[in-house]
Amino acid sequence: MSRTQHAALWHASGSLAGAVIVGVVVLGTGLVASRPDLACLAVPLLVWAAWSWQGRPRGEAQTECVIETAHRVTGESPCLTAALRVSSDELAEFVHARTLVGGTHRRNAVLDGRSEAPLSAVVPARHSGPCEVLALRYRLVSADGAFITDPTPQQEAERIIRPQIVPLPQLLLPQRLHGLTGTHGSTRPGDGGSFRDIALFAPGDRLRRIDWKATARLARRPGDLYVRRSFATSDATAVIVMDTGDELGEVVAEWTRGRVDKTGLTSMDAAREAAAAIAVAYTQSGDQVALQNLALGSRQVRRGSGDRHRERLLATIAATRPHGVGMTHRRAPLVAAGALVFVLSTFFDGEAATLAAMWSAVGHRVLAVDTLPPGNRAGLTPEQATAHTIVMMEREDRLRDMEAAGVRIVRWADAAGLPSRNAQFSALARERAR
Protein backbone atom coordinates (compact mmCIF):
# COMPACT_ATOMS: atom_id res chain seq x y z
CA MET A 1 0.00 0.00 0.00
CA SER A 2 1.26 3.45 -0.91
CA ARG A 3 0.04 6.41 1.16
CA THR A 4 1.14 10.01 0.70
CA GLN A 5 -0.04 13.36 1.94
CA HIS A 6 0.24 16.56 -0.04
CA ALA A 7 -0.43 20.26 0.47
CA ALA A 8 -1.51 22.12 -2.65
CA LEU A 9 -2.11 25.81 -3.21
CA TRP A 10 -5.43 26.99 -4.63
CA HIS A 11 -5.69 29.52 -7.42
CA ALA A 12 -8.53 30.84 -9.59
CA SER A 13 -9.01 29.02 -12.89
CA GLY A 14 -10.07 32.07 -14.94
CA SER A 15 -13.77 31.30 -15.10
CA LEU A 16 -14.45 33.53 -12.09
CA ALA A 17 -12.90 36.51 -13.85
CA GLY A 18 -14.80 35.54 -17.02
CA ALA A 19 -18.13 35.50 -15.20
CA VAL A 20 -17.50 38.88 -13.55
CA ILE A 21 -16.32 40.54 -16.76
CA VAL A 22 -19.17 39.17 -18.90
CA GLY A 23 -21.71 39.91 -16.17
CA VAL A 24 -20.62 43.51 -15.69
CA VAL A 25 -20.39 44.19 -19.45
CA VAL A 26 -23.83 42.71 -20.15
CA LEU A 27 -25.39 44.38 -17.13
CA GLY A 28 -23.85 47.74 -18.04
CA THR A 29 -24.94 47.46 -21.65
CA GLY A 30 -28.46 46.53 -20.61
CA LEU A 31 -28.65 49.52 -18.32
CA VAL A 32 -27.14 51.93 -20.82
CA ALA A 33 -29.42 50.65 -23.58
CA SER A 34 -32.42 50.63 -21.20
CA ARG A 35 -32.96 46.93 -21.88
CA PRO A 36 -33.92 45.19 -18.64
CA ASP A 37 -34.12 41.82 -20.42
CA LEU A 38 -30.45 42.18 -21.40
CA ALA A 39 -29.49 43.29 -17.89
CA CYS A 40 -31.24 40.24 -16.45
CA LEU A 41 -29.01 37.95 -18.52
CA ALA A 42 -26.08 38.99 -16.33
CA VAL A 43 -27.81 37.97 -13.10
CA PRO A 44 -26.98 34.22 -13.13
CA LEU A 45 -23.35 34.91 -13.98
CA LEU A 46 -22.93 37.51 -11.25
CA VAL A 47 -24.73 35.36 -8.70
CA TRP A 48 -22.50 32.43 -9.67
CA ALA A 49 -19.41 34.62 -9.29
CA ALA A 50 -20.57 35.91 -5.90
CA TRP A 51 -21.37 32.38 -4.72
CA SER A 52 -17.99 31.07 -5.87
CA TRP A 53 -16.17 33.99 -4.27
CA GLN A 54 -18.02 33.52 -1.02
CA GLY A 55 -17.05 29.86 -0.84
CA ARG A 56 -13.54 30.33 -2.17
CA PRO A 57 -10.83 28.12 -0.69
CA ARG A 58 -8.24 29.90 1.41
CA GLY A 59 -4.69 28.78 1.94
CA GLU A 60 -3.49 25.30 1.14
CA ALA A 61 -5.55 22.20 0.49
CA GLN A 62 -4.55 19.14 2.51
CA THR A 63 -5.04 15.92 0.63
CA GLU A 64 -4.17 12.27 1.11
CA CYS A 65 -3.81 9.63 -1.57
CA VAL A 66 -3.85 5.89 -0.86
CA ILE A 67 -3.12 3.23 -3.47
CA GLU A 68 -3.66 -0.39 -2.56
CA THR A 69 -2.30 -3.01 -4.95
CA ALA A 70 -3.09 -6.70 -5.27
CA HIS A 71 -2.06 -9.60 -7.46
CA ARG A 72 -4.96 -11.67 -8.72
CA VAL A 73 -4.40 -15.06 -10.26
CA THR A 74 -7.86 -16.02 -11.43
CA GLY A 75 -8.35 -18.13 -14.51
CA GLU A 76 -5.79 -17.91 -17.28
CA SER A 77 -5.09 -14.20 -17.05
CA PRO A 78 -3.27 -13.12 -13.93
CA CYS A 79 -3.50 -9.40 -13.35
CA LEU A 80 -2.51 -6.67 -10.96
CA THR A 81 -5.11 -4.39 -9.52
CA ALA A 82 -4.84 -1.04 -7.79
CA ALA A 83 -7.51 0.77 -5.82
CA LEU A 84 -7.02 4.51 -5.48
CA ARG A 85 -8.65 6.68 -2.83
CA VAL A 86 -8.12 10.41 -2.65
CA SER A 87 -9.42 12.29 0.33
CA SER A 88 -9.21 16.05 0.78
CA ASP A 89 -10.92 18.96 2.45
CA GLU A 90 -14.55 19.71 1.66
CA LEU A 91 -13.86 22.47 -0.84
CA ALA A 92 -12.47 20.03 -3.37
CA GLU A 93 -15.47 18.99 -5.38
CA PHE A 94 -13.66 16.84 -7.86
CA VAL A 95 -10.21 15.48 -8.50
CA HIS A 96 -8.53 15.41 -11.89
CA ALA A 97 -6.08 12.51 -11.88
CA ARG A 98 -3.55 11.95 -14.65
CA THR A 99 -2.58 8.33 -14.39
CA LEU A 100 -0.01 6.09 -15.98
CA VAL A 101 -1.43 2.58 -15.86
CA GLY A 102 0.95 -0.34 -16.08
CA GLY A 103 3.81 2.01 -16.94
CA THR A 104 2.56 2.41 -20.50
CA HIS A 105 -1.00 3.71 -20.81
CA ARG A 106 -1.86 7.30 -19.92
CA ARG A 107 -5.42 7.72 -18.70
CA ASN A 108 -7.31 10.71 -17.30
CA ALA A 109 -10.00 10.41 -14.70
CA VAL A 110 -12.19 12.97 -12.99
CA LEU A 111 -13.22 11.61 -9.62
CA ASP A 112 -15.77 12.71 -7.10
CA GLY A 113 -13.85 14.52 -4.39
CA ARG A 114 -16.54 14.09 -1.78
CA SER A 115 -16.75 10.29 -1.78
CA GLU A 116 -13.08 9.37 -1.33
CA ALA A 117 -12.81 9.22 -5.12
CA PRO A 118 -12.66 5.47 -5.77
CA LEU A 119 -10.75 4.44 -8.89
CA SER A 120 -9.61 0.96 -9.78
CA ALA A 121 -6.93 0.00 -12.27
CA VAL A 122 -6.34 -3.40 -13.81
CA VAL A 123 -3.01 -4.25 -15.35
CA PRO A 124 -2.30 -7.61 -17.00
CA ALA A 125 0.63 -9.33 -15.32
CA ARG A 126 2.91 -9.88 -18.29
CA HIS A 127 6.23 -10.08 -16.49
CA SER A 128 7.63 -11.24 -13.20
CA GLY A 129 9.58 -8.94 -10.90
CA PRO A 130 8.76 -5.36 -9.94
CA CYS A 131 5.77 -4.17 -12.01
CA GLU A 132 4.53 -0.61 -12.04
CA VAL A 133 0.79 -0.73 -11.49
CA LEU A 134 -0.29 2.87 -11.17
CA ALA A 135 1.46 6.22 -11.16
CA LEU A 136 -0.48 9.43 -10.87
CA ARG A 137 -0.46 13.15 -10.35
CA TYR A 138 -3.66 14.88 -9.47
CA ARG A 139 -5.11 18.26 -8.74
CA LEU A 140 -8.12 19.33 -6.77
CA VAL A 141 -10.90 21.40 -8.29
CA SER A 142 -13.52 23.39 -6.42
CA ALA A 143 -17.21 23.65 -7.35
CA ASP A 144 -17.76 24.13 -11.12
CA GLY A 145 -14.02 24.50 -11.68
CA ALA A 146 -13.80 28.03 -10.25
CA PHE A 147 -10.64 27.27 -8.25
CA ILE A 148 -7.97 24.72 -8.91
CA THR A 149 -4.75 23.52 -7.28
CA ASP A 150 -1.35 22.81 -8.78
CA PRO A 151 -0.69 19.15 -9.64
CA THR A 152 0.73 17.09 -6.80
CA PRO A 153 4.11 15.35 -7.16
CA GLN A 154 3.98 11.98 -8.88
CA GLN A 155 3.04 9.05 -6.71
CA GLU A 156 3.76 5.50 -7.82
CA ALA A 157 2.61 2.08 -6.71
CA GLU A 158 4.33 -1.08 -7.83
CA ARG A 159 3.93 -4.72 -7.05
CA ILE A 160 6.52 -7.46 -7.08
CA ILE A 161 5.41 -10.60 -8.88
CA ARG A 162 7.22 -13.76 -7.99
CA PRO A 163 8.42 -15.84 -10.93
CA GLN A 164 6.74 -19.12 -11.63
CA ILE A 165 8.60 -21.99 -10.00
CA VAL A 166 9.42 -24.54 -12.67
CA PRO A 167 11.04 -27.83 -11.67
CA LEU A 168 14.71 -28.13 -12.52
CA PRO A 169 15.05 -31.15 -14.85
CA GLN A 170 18.23 -32.46 -13.20
CA LEU A 171 20.13 -31.49 -10.08
CA LEU A 172 23.65 -30.89 -11.33
CA LEU A 173 26.48 -31.25 -8.84
CA PRO A 174 29.76 -29.42 -8.49
CA GLN A 175 33.16 -31.04 -8.99
CA ARG A 176 33.67 -31.24 -5.25
CA LEU A 177 31.18 -31.69 -2.44
CA HIS A 178 31.87 -30.51 1.07
CA GLY A 179 31.00 -31.66 4.55
CA LEU A 180 30.17 -35.12 5.90
CA THR A 181 26.42 -34.78 5.88
CA GLY A 182 23.99 -34.01 3.12
CA THR A 183 21.93 -35.66 0.47
CA HIS A 184 24.54 -36.31 -2.20
CA GLY A 185 26.84 -39.33 -2.24
CA SER A 186 30.45 -38.36 -1.64
CA THR A 187 33.65 -40.18 -2.67
CA ARG A 188 35.03 -39.85 0.87
CA PRO A 189 34.54 -42.53 3.52
CA GLY A 190 32.00 -41.68 6.15
CA ASP A 191 28.48 -42.37 7.28
CA GLY A 192 25.18 -42.40 5.49
CA GLY A 193 26.27 -43.23 1.96
CA SER A 194 26.33 -46.46 0.00
CA PHE A 195 28.62 -49.45 0.67
CA ARG A 196 32.31 -48.73 0.03
CA ASP A 197 34.37 -51.72 1.17
CA ILE A 198 35.24 -54.11 4.01
CA ALA A 199 38.41 -53.39 5.93
CA LEU A 200 40.23 -54.39 9.11
CA PHE A 201 38.98 -52.70 12.23
CA ALA A 202 41.08 -49.65 13.05
CA PRO A 203 41.04 -47.28 16.01
CA GLY A 204 38.18 -44.85 15.52
CA ASP A 205 35.83 -47.31 13.83
CA ARG A 206 32.50 -47.65 15.53
CA LEU A 207 31.69 -51.02 17.04
CA ARG A 208 28.36 -51.20 15.29
CA ARG A 209 30.20 -51.20 11.96
CA ILE A 210 31.76 -54.60 12.68
CA ASP A 211 30.52 -57.08 10.12
CA TRP A 212 30.52 -60.41 11.98
CA LYS A 213 29.85 -62.53 8.93
CA ALA A 214 32.78 -60.96 7.08
CA THR A 215 34.94 -61.35 10.20
CA ALA A 216 34.08 -65.07 10.41
CA ARG A 217 34.89 -65.51 6.75
CA LEU A 218 38.04 -63.41 6.49
CA ALA A 219 39.75 -63.40 9.92
CA ARG A 220 43.14 -65.09 9.81
CA ARG A 221 44.31 -64.42 13.35
CA PRO A 222 42.45 -64.32 16.61
CA GLY A 223 41.35 -60.80 17.31
CA ASP A 224 40.97 -59.78 13.67
CA LEU A 225 37.79 -57.81 13.19
CA TYR A 226 36.38 -56.58 9.91
CA VAL A 227 34.15 -53.51 9.50
CA ARG A 228 31.83 -52.42 6.69
CA ARG A 229 32.80 -48.98 5.46
CA SER A 230 30.47 -46.69 3.55
CA PHE A 231 30.75 -43.47 1.63
CA ALA A 232 29.91 -40.20 3.29
CA THR A 233 27.07 -37.97 2.17
CA SER A 234 27.82 -34.34 1.45
CA ASP A 235 26.39 -30.96 0.62
CA ALA A 236 26.71 -29.10 -2.62
CA THR A 237 27.08 -25.34 -2.87
CA ALA A 238 25.42 -23.55 -5.75
CA VAL A 239 26.07 -19.91 -6.52
CA ILE A 240 23.55 -18.09 -8.69
CA VAL A 241 25.09 -15.13 -10.47
CA MET A 242 22.53 -12.88 -12.13
CA ASP A 243 23.60 -10.41 -14.78
CA THR A 244 21.00 -7.65 -14.56
CA GLY A 245 22.73 -5.33 -16.98
CA ASP A 246 20.01 -5.41 -19.62
CA GLU A 247 16.48 -6.58 -20.27
CA LEU A 248 15.87 -7.83 -23.79
CA GLY A 249 12.52 -9.14 -24.94
CA GLU A 250 11.36 -11.47 -27.66
CA VAL A 251 10.47 -8.58 -29.99
CA VAL A 252 13.82 -7.25 -31.19
CA ALA A 253 12.27 -4.01 -32.46
CA GLU A 254 11.36 -3.15 -28.85
CA TRP A 255 14.91 -3.48 -27.50
CA THR A 256 15.48 0.25 -27.93
CA ARG A 257 11.95 1.34 -27.05
CA GLY A 258 11.40 -0.86 -24.03
CA ARG A 259 7.60 -0.78 -23.95
CA VAL A 260 6.82 -3.45 -21.39
CA ASP A 261 3.50 -4.37 -22.99
CA LYS A 262 5.04 -5.09 -26.36
CA THR A 263 8.36 -6.75 -25.56
CA GLY A 264 7.00 -10.25 -24.96
CA LEU A 265 8.84 -12.40 -22.44
CA THR A 266 12.15 -10.80 -21.53
CA SER A 267 15.58 -11.98 -20.54
CA MET A 268 14.91 -10.81 -16.97
CA ASP A 269 11.76 -12.96 -16.87
CA ALA A 270 13.83 -15.94 -17.94
CA ALA A 271 16.62 -15.05 -15.49
CA ARG A 272 14.20 -14.75 -12.57
CA GLU A 273 12.50 -18.01 -13.52
CA ALA A 274 15.82 -19.83 -13.86
CA ALA A 275 17.21 -18.41 -10.62
CA ALA A 276 14.03 -19.32 -8.73
CA ALA A 277 14.07 -22.85 -10.16
CA ILE A 278 17.72 -23.32 -9.17
CA ALA A 279 17.22 -21.84 -5.70
CA VAL A 280 14.18 -24.00 -4.97
CA ALA A 281 15.68 -27.21 -6.36
CA TYR A 282 18.95 -26.93 -4.41
CA THR A 283 17.52 -25.68 -1.12
CA GLN A 284 14.87 -28.42 -1.19
CA SER A 285 17.61 -31.01 -1.47
CA GLY A 286 19.39 -29.48 1.52
CA ASP A 287 22.20 -27.81 -0.40
CA GLN A 288 23.60 -24.36 0.14
CA VAL A 289 22.74 -21.58 -2.28
CA ALA A 290 24.15 -18.07 -2.61
CA LEU A 291 23.02 -15.25 -4.88
CA GLN A 292 25.13 -12.58 -6.54
CA ASN A 293 24.15 -9.69 -8.76
CA LEU A 294 26.82 -8.68 -11.23
CA ALA A 295 25.41 -5.24 -12.01
CA LEU A 296 25.30 -4.29 -8.32
CA GLY A 297 28.76 -5.71 -7.73
CA SER A 298 27.86 -7.13 -4.35
CA ARG A 299 26.84 -10.42 -2.89
CA GLN A 300 23.10 -10.14 -2.40
CA VAL A 301 22.38 -13.23 -0.35
CA ARG A 302 25.04 -15.19 1.53
CA ARG A 303 25.06 -18.93 1.10
CA GLY A 304 22.74 -20.87 3.29
CA SER A 305 20.12 -23.56 3.25
CA GLY A 306 16.69 -24.27 4.65
CA ASP A 307 13.18 -22.97 4.17
CA ARG A 308 13.80 -19.47 5.49
CA HIS A 309 16.83 -19.10 3.28
CA ARG A 310 14.78 -20.25 0.30
CA GLU A 311 12.16 -17.59 1.03
CA ARG A 312 14.89 -14.97 1.33
CA LEU A 313 16.32 -16.04 -2.01
CA LEU A 314 12.94 -16.02 -3.76
CA ALA A 315 12.09 -12.58 -2.41
CA THR A 316 15.43 -11.20 -3.57
CA ILE A 317 15.16 -12.84 -6.99
CA ALA A 318 11.62 -11.52 -7.46
CA ALA A 319 12.72 -7.97 -6.61
CA THR A 320 15.59 -8.05 -9.09
CA ARG A 321 15.26 -5.41 -11.77
CA PRO A 322 17.50 -4.35 -14.66
CA HIS A 323 20.19 -1.92 -13.54
CA GLY A 324 21.88 -1.06 -16.80
CA VAL A 325 25.49 -1.93 -17.49
CA GLY A 326 27.09 -1.81 -14.09
CA MET A 327 30.63 -2.02 -12.84
CA THR A 328 33.43 -3.85 -14.60
CA HIS A 329 35.14 -6.51 -12.47
CA ARG A 330 38.91 -6.79 -12.54
CA ARG A 331 38.76 -10.15 -10.81
CA ALA A 332 35.97 -12.64 -10.38
CA PRO A 333 33.88 -12.16 -7.22
CA LEU A 334 34.71 -14.72 -4.55
CA VAL A 335 32.52 -17.78 -4.43
CA ALA A 336 32.67 -20.73 -2.04
CA ALA A 337 35.35 -23.31 -2.77
CA GLY A 338 34.16 -26.08 -5.05
CA ALA A 339 30.87 -24.39 -5.75
CA LEU A 340 28.74 -24.95 -8.80
CA VAL A 341 28.35 -21.55 -10.41
CA PHE A 342 25.28 -20.70 -12.49
CA VAL A 343 25.85 -17.55 -14.55
CA LEU A 344 22.50 -16.19 -15.77
CA SER A 345 23.02 -13.70 -18.55
CA THR A 346 22.19 -12.75 -22.12
CA PHE A 347 25.95 -12.55 -22.78
CA PHE A 348 25.49 -9.42 -24.83
CA ASP A 349 28.53 -7.89 -23.25
CA GLY A 350 31.72 -9.65 -22.36
CA GLU A 351 31.63 -9.13 -18.60
CA ALA A 352 29.59 -12.18 -17.60
CA ALA A 353 31.38 -14.40 -20.11
CA THR A 354 34.81 -13.31 -18.84
CA LEU A 355 33.85 -13.96 -15.22
CA ALA A 356 32.41 -17.37 -16.12
CA ALA A 357 35.70 -18.29 -17.80
CA MET A 358 37.64 -17.05 -14.74
CA TRP A 359 35.58 -19.19 -12.36
CA SER A 360 36.01 -22.17 -14.64
CA ALA A 361 39.76 -21.61 -14.75
CA VAL A 362 40.08 -21.76 -10.95
CA GLY A 363 38.32 -25.13 -10.81
CA HIS A 364 34.64 -24.36 -10.33
CA ARG A 365 32.06 -26.14 -12.38
CA VAL A 366 30.41 -23.28 -14.26
CA LEU A 367 27.12 -23.43 -16.05
CA ALA A 368 26.19 -20.47 -18.25
CA VAL A 369 22.42 -20.16 -18.47
CA ASP A 370 21.56 -18.21 -21.61
CA THR A 371 18.49 -16.16 -20.74
CA LEU A 372 18.01 -14.48 -24.11
CA PRO A 373 14.53 -15.43 -25.42
CA PRO A 374 14.13 -16.45 -29.07
CA GLY A 375 14.15 -13.26 -31.10
CA ASN A 376 11.32 -12.03 -33.28
CA ARG A 377 12.78 -9.74 -35.93
CA ALA A 378 9.45 -8.46 -37.28
CA GLY A 379 9.33 -4.70 -37.72
CA LEU A 380 13.09 -4.18 -37.99
CA THR A 381 14.46 -1.81 -40.59
CA PRO A 382 17.19 -3.27 -42.84
CA GLU A 383 19.81 -1.34 -40.86
CA GLN A 384 18.45 -2.65 -37.55
CA ALA A 385 18.32 -6.20 -38.93
CA THR A 386 21.96 -5.95 -40.00
CA ALA A 387 22.96 -4.57 -36.61
CA HIS A 388 21.06 -7.37 -34.88
CA THR A 389 22.78 -9.98 -37.02
CA ILE A 390 26.21 -8.55 -36.16
CA VAL A 391 25.43 -8.38 -32.44
CA MET A 392 24.16 -11.95 -32.44
CA MET A 393 27.28 -13.14 -34.25
CA GLU A 394 29.46 -11.47 -31.64
CA ARG A 395 27.40 -13.17 -28.96
CA GLU A 396 27.84 -16.55 -30.65
CA ASP A 397 31.60 -15.98 -30.68
CA ARG A 398 31.47 -15.15 -26.99
CA LEU A 399 29.52 -18.32 -26.20
CA ARG A 400 31.96 -20.39 -28.24
CA ASP A 401 34.92 -18.89 -26.36
CA MET A 402 33.22 -19.67 -23.07
CA GLU A 403 32.63 -23.25 -24.09
CA ALA A 404 36.28 -23.56 -25.07
CA ALA A 405 37.20 -22.35 -21.57
CA GLY A 406 35.25 -25.23 -20.00
CA VAL A 407 32.00 -23.44 -19.28
CA ARG A 408 28.90 -25.46 -20.14
CA ILE A 409 26.03 -23.55 -21.74
CA VAL A 410 22.32 -24.15 -21.25
CA ARG A 411 19.71 -22.25 -23.21
CA TRP A 412 16.85 -21.58 -20.77
CA ALA A 413 14.07 -20.79 -23.24
CA ASP A 414 13.14 -23.71 -25.45
CA ALA A 415 13.42 -22.91 -29.16
CA ALA A 416 12.57 -24.82 -32.30
CA GLY A 417 15.46 -26.76 -33.77
CA LEU A 418 17.53 -26.72 -30.58
CA PRO A 419 17.78 -29.28 -27.76
CA SER A 420 15.20 -28.69 -25.04
CA ARG A 421 16.14 -27.48 -21.57
CA ASN A 422 15.48 -30.95 -20.12
CA ALA A 423 17.71 -32.62 -22.69
CA GLN A 424 20.51 -30.16 -22.02
CA PHE A 425 20.35 -30.70 -18.24
CA SER A 426 20.22 -34.49 -18.70
CA ALA A 427 23.34 -34.38 -20.86
CA LEU A 428 25.15 -32.27 -18.26
CA ALA A 429 24.11 -34.62 -15.45
CA ARG A 430 25.59 -37.58 -17.38
CA GLU A 431 28.78 -35.59 -17.92
CA ARG A 432 29.61 -35.58 -14.18
CA ALA A 433 28.57 -39.19 -13.73
CA ARG A 434 31.27 -40.24 -16.19
Partner 1 sequence: MTKSKPSIRIAHGIPSATVHIGVGAVAVLLSMATVTVPFWLIVALALAVAAAAAPRLHMAWALMVLLAFAQLSHPPLLTDWRPYVLMAGLHLLHVLASMSLAVPLRGRIALSVLGRTLRRYLVIQLPAQGLLIIVLALLTPAGVHAVWLAPVGAAALVACAATLVLPIVRDRE
Q: Which of 2, 4, 46, 286 binds partner 1 (CB under 8 A)?
A: 46
Q: Does 47 bind partner 1 (CB under 8 A)?
A: yes
Q: Smaller CB distance to partner 1: residue 15 or 230?
A: 15
**CA-based nearest residue to 250, from 237, 233, 267, 235:** 267
Q: Does 44 bind partner 1 (CB under 8 A)?
A: yes
x/- mask, partner 1, residues 60-79, rule CB under 8 A, reads ----------------xxxx
Shortest Å distance, C-beta 15 to partner 1: 3
Total residues at the site for partner 1 (CB under 8 A)?
77
Q: Does 262 bind partner 1 (CB under 8 A)?
A: no
The H or E element containing residue 109 is strand 105-112
The H or E element containing residue 147 is strand 147-149
Shortest Å distance, C-beta 348 to partner 1: 24
CB atoms within 10 A of CB 74: 7
Q: Does 94 bind partner 1 (CB under 8 A)?
A: yes
Q: Does 122 bind partner 1 (CB under 8 A)?
A: yes
- Per DSSP, which regions of 252-308 are E strands? 288-293, 298-304
Residues 362-391 touching partner 1, rule: CB under 8 A, are none
Residues 168-207 touching partner 1, rule: CB under 8 A, are none
DSSP per-residue string spanning 347-358: --SHHHHHHHHH
Q: Which of 8, 111, 380, 413 binds partner 1 (CB under 8 A)?
A: 111
Q: Does 21 bind partner 1 (CB under 8 A)?
A: yes
Q: Does 40 bind partner 1 (CB under 8 A)?
A: yes
x/- mask, partner 1, residues 139-168, rule CB under 8 A, reads x-x-xxxx-x--------------------
Q: Does 259 bind partner 1 (CB under 8 A)?
A: no
Shortest Å distance, C-beta 373 to partner 1: 13
Q: What is the per-residue burial (b if ≥16 Cβ within 10 Å, else e) of 285-305? A: bebbbbbbbbbeeebbbebeb
Contact 137, 131 (CB under 8 A): no
DSSP per-residue string spanning 177-208: -BSS-SSEEEEEEEEEEEEEEEEE--TT--GG
Distance (Å, whole) CA 274 – CA 268: 10
Residues 6+ apart with CB under 8 A from 20: 45, 46, 49
